[in-house]
Chain A
Amino acid sequence: MIEFKEVHKSFDEKKVLRGINLVVNQSELVSILGPSGCGKSVTLKHIIGILKADDGEVWVDGKNVGALGRNELQELRKHFGVLFQSAALFDSMTVKENVAFSLRMHRKMSEAEIDKRVAECLEMVELSGSEALEPDELSGGMRKRVGLARAIAMRPDYILYDEPTTGLDPKTALVIGDLIVRLQKQLKITSIVVTHDVQLALDISDRIALFHDGKVAAEGTPAEVSRGDGKLIKKFMEGEL
């Protein structure tokens, strides 16, 4: 379980988070929805301790992330898979090396076992046989899928998606959305999707948290958010937020 308790974060004079309160339960798929620059990605980085809150606490599985030491933090991160906005593939490595990276760093597995796991992960994201490709040979959608294969290689308990459909055409965005739902069901993991794509959030989420002005302005199931506090969603969709 992930819990944000009154999390505040500023960069120089700019206040990005102004008291975030949010709970993500086990095996849940929660989308954090909001306009660009509202602190969604910053929120995500607090979960794995890449950023530290100025005030407030982030708890993961009963551990206060801000209070963890360097080694404990690295241990915690092994339970997470992260799909970055740009996919963040290591461009000096092939697809196989990218997917196998964390296995080689953290698991004592034979080359045959690594090959098998890489093939499994690539099959899950429908990219079987792409092991030898270099990142610059991949399209935007393929890069995201390789990033996703890399994120699930360690069989994490949590997957964090940072703008998974940004920069993709609508068809590929749908494919990525389907993939997120399928992996969620198949692997029974907890997922947090940060996005400004309202349709994606409505389609895939168990719950949505709508960010506005550095706070969670509305929270609930897709139906509740669009019905209950529909004004905010409508405003966001019309670009008024």
Chain B
Amino acid sequence: MFNNFFYFLGRRGARFFYHFYKVYGYLWAAFLQLRYLHFYRRQVVEQMYRIGIGSIPLIVGLSLFTGMATSIQTAYQISGFVPKYVVGSIVLQSELLELAPTLMALVLAGRVGAGIASEIGTMKVSEQVDALESMGVDPVGYLVMPRLVAGITMFPIVIIFAIVIAVSGGYYVANTMMGVTSADFVKGMKEAFRFKDVWVGLIKATIYGGIITLIGSYMGMETEQGAKGVGIAATATVVSASSFILIMDYILTRSLLKFY
């Protein structure tokens, strides 16, 4: 029984490192394709629009609710213990450092990551990726690199929108429902604001953008077995990207906050 258990662990471990090695291969290949950025500029702009601008309505809607919920919960938790202006501090810092980048990245792992995996996966199983290669077009340059560049550049912008909307929602709820005055909320925000927190949030967003688009592209490019394979690729992308985001969240939070 123990032998079976260790055999199972060993196989899982080997598979993890095999995938990790291949993902790294795609990352390196995409990096090398950056020298043809000008050649693939149309694809880059198209992906920036689809991944970035296309995600803003969803992110704006959802971050409004996270901001409002954070505000209510903070006001509830501190009531009677600490001054109310602290609500502004906690809402701002929570959104900057954690909620906006991490929570929204989890949402985008579904919207963007699964979308990339199923789009590239469908192209793979219907020979469209082979067609690209046969026409002398590098699939990594045409499909992977533009998505990676778009993810890395557009996620921070999307997250800036998320932070602004979430804090606005938090302010509105604190002001209208929880008895926190505008002056108190703003005072709390001013006291807590540190420019480095903005950087920490944006660095997180950049790295999450890379993780989601890279894993989505990898899963898509490795798709096999027709429609079933496309479904598997999309699901695997959401699971893997979400797991990596949460693991990286700890690593980044620890290293960036300590570093600063």
Contacts and interface: CB of A to CB of B under 8 A. Distances in A.
Which of A84, A85, A88 has the largest count of B CB atoms less than 10 A from its CB? A88
Interface string B105-140: 000000000000000001100111011011111100
A80 B126 CA distance: 20
Contact of A91 (B128, B134, B135, B137): B128
A177 to B, nearest CB: 22
A105 B131 CA distance: 13
A172 interface: no
A182 to B, nearest CB: 22
Interface residues of B, number: 14
Contact of B135 (A75, A86, A102): A102
Interface residues of A, number: 24
A50 B136 contact: no
B113 to A, nearest CB: 19
B181 to A, nearest CB: 52
Nearest to B125: A86
Interface in A26-60: 45, 48, 50
Contact of B127 (A74, A85, A101, A102): A85
A7 interface: no
A32 to B, nearest CB: 17
B138 A74 contact: yes
A91 B128 CA distance: 9
B138 A106 contact: no
Given A50-B133, A77-B133, A91 B138 contact: no
B136 A86 contact: no
Contacts of A84: 127, 130-131, 134
Contact of A50 (B123, B130, B138): B130
A80 B138 contact: no
B128 A90 contact: yes
A187 B126 CA distance: 28
A102 B39 CA distance: 13
A17 to B, nearest CB: 18
Interface string B20-44: 0000000000000000000100000
Contacts of A50: 130, 133-134
Contact of A78 (B122, B136, B138): B136
A160 B131 CA distance: 12
A-B complex: 10 closest residue pairs judged by Cβ atoms: A88-B127, A77-B136, A88-B131, A82-B134, A74-B136, A102-B135, A78-B136, A84-B127, A88-B128, A86-B127
Contacts of A101: 135
A88 B39 CA distance: 23
Nearest to B128: A88
A70 interface: yes
Contacts of A90: 123, 128, 131
Contacts of B136: 74-78, 102, 105-106
Contacts of B130: 45, 50, 84, 88
Contacts of A74: 136-138
Nearest to A154: B135
9 contacts: A50-B130, A77-B134, A86-B126, A86-B127, A88-B131, A91-B128, A102-B135, A102-B136, A102-B137
Contacts of B123: 90
A124 to B, nearest CB: 18
A82 B131 CA distance: 7
A48 B133 contact: yes
Contacts of A86: 126-127
B33 to A, nearest CB: 10
Interface string B128-161: 1011011111100000000000000000000000
B230 to A, nearest CB: 13
Contacts of B126: 86, 88, 91
Contacts of A48: 133-134
Interface in A203-223: none
Interface string A59-95: 0000000000010001111101010111011110000
A102 B135 CA distance: 6
Contacts of A91: 122, 126, 128
Nearest to B119: A92
